[in-house]
Amino acid sequence: MKKLWSKDISFLFKNAKRNQNNNEILLILNKIELNKIENQDYCLLDLNRVETDLVEDFLTDLICEIGIGEDGEVNQTGRYIDDLIDVFNTRDSE
């Protein structure tokens, strides 16, 4: 089972709350947070395929919104988001 660190969850919540249309993402993030390991700085990901795909879509949209610099290149935030997509990508574990 993959891990999602607390700083990553905070980043996701912060960006999901920027848009009122992200209620479904916020519910998924709340579900992830319920799997926080006591006395640890991470949560275990236990999502179904639909939830995982929704988070991946959200992150892909987020790269387009804040992850590309004015020069058209992926910036540091975009690289961070890309790393998060890798965490949620279930295709590598199938």
What is the percentage of the chain residues whose pLDDT exceeds 70? Answer: 95
Span 59-70, pLDDT tens digits: 999 999 999 999
**Predicted model pTM:** 0.88
Q: How many domains does the chain have?
A: 1
SS3 59: helix
pLDDT at residue number 19: 84
3-state secondary structure the chain: CCEEEHHHHHHHHHHHCCCHHHHHHHHHHHHHHCCECCCCCEEECCCCHHHHHHHHHHHHHHHHHHCECCCCCECHHHHHHHHHHHHHCCHHHC
Average pLDDT score, the chain:
91
Confidence (pLDDT) at 90: 65
Q: Which tokens go with 35?
A: 């799997």
- Asked whether the predicted pLDDT for residue 94 surpasses 50, the reply is no
Domain that holds residue 18: 3-93
